[in-house]
Amino acid sequence: MSYEIIYDKLFIKAEKNNQVVIFPTIESGSNNCYDVNRFGKSGRRARDWNNCTHILMAGNQYGTIEEVLAGVQKWRDDTEEGYKSYSSSSETPYDDDSFGWHVSLSMNSKGCAGTSFKSVKNFYQIGCDNALSVEQLKGFGINVRVYTSFYSNEDLLKIGQEPFTLYPSTSEELIKIVDEKTELFKDTNVNFYITLGVSDFTLKNAKASFTSKKSTLQPLVSEFFKIKILGSYFIKRSSRMVTRGNEGKKFLTEKSANKVLAELKVRLPNYIDEMSVEKIELDTPIYL
């Protein structure tokens, strides 16, 4: 049996007409699809970030919190009605506790039969409550991408348009792009999509901001600092290892970055000449 697995969520929030609107972006994938590792063997199950438009009325890319939750409820009601029509002779009635079984959906490692409608509804409610703006996401190194797929190329050419990939820098810009493209493509077969560029590490940091009392959003800063090690950036250290990558931890002051750098030089004496504090000039919010 093929079914969809939802792994995580990171909803985007914006404002339109003085109302908060939500882009319900989720990480999901099929149970039958796997990534291929560098040895040519199957790795973990494949998963992607996508904007969950099917719960929004008329397939809209965003909606108010009330519209998102109403869409979830409609999904449930339509499923029950369809199940009644399809299985009128069945002895097994529709059951909210097995909602995932009816819609081929698994969440929270519960399997389809163990995924209740209550858990799905809570998933979207919590996603709305913890939604972040594009500016906040960028503060974690998470990019929002709006793009057309290869399958729309021919239809784009028919209307004199080119394939595109756009990276909005603010929630206001995201709304503007989506509204313009929706109007442009409304009478065509062209589809465009919204996804997130986010690693497991940055996702963990972003989610920690929802619950950590110590994690606070600093005012917009024009510069910050990172520690560069062998061409990549310091992320974190533990008793066993030092982790580095393309994104790296941001320091609000050069002094705080140099303090950690001094500790790293003691710990990694063979790489002293390959470590330095780098100043980055970029308007961004920073979570500490």
pLDDT of residue 53: 86
3-state secondary structure of 60: coil
Query: What does the alpha-carbon distance between residue 99 and residue 118 come to, in Å, rounded to a whole number?
Result: 9
Greater pLDDT, 281 or 91:
281
Q: Is 153 exposed, middle or buried (0-12, 13-18, 19+ CB in 10 A)?
A: middle
Domain residue ranges in the chain: 4-129, 134-200, 216-284
Output 284 or 197, whichever has higher pLDDT.
197
Those residues whose C-beta lies under 8 Å from the C-beta of residue 132, and which sit 6 or more positions away, are: 10, 11, 12, 13, 206
Choose the weakest-confidence range: 92-96, 113-117, 174-178, 264-268: 92-96
The predicted model scores a pTM of 0.73
The letter for the amino acid at 228 is K
Q: Report the pLDDT value the prediction gives residue 213, as an integer from 0 to 100.
A: 46
Q: Between the CA of residue 66 and those of 46, 61, 194, what are the distances in Å? A: 31, 14, 21
pLDDT, one tens digit per residue, over 28-79 is 999 999 888 766 777 788 899 999 888 887 768 999 999 999 999 999 999 9
Whether CATH 3.30.70 fits 134-200 = yes
Q: What is the pLDDT of residues 235-279, one digit of tens each?
A: 888 878 888 887 788 888 999 999 999 999 999 998 899 999 999
Looking at the chain, list the stretches that DSSP marks H as alpha helix, in order from N- to C-terminal side.
65-86, 99-103, 117-129, 134-139, 153-158, 171-184, 200-211, 254-267
For residues 92 and 24, what is the distance between their CA atoms, to the nearest angstrom?
32
Average pLDDT, the chain: 87
Tell me what pLDDT residue 201 has: 75
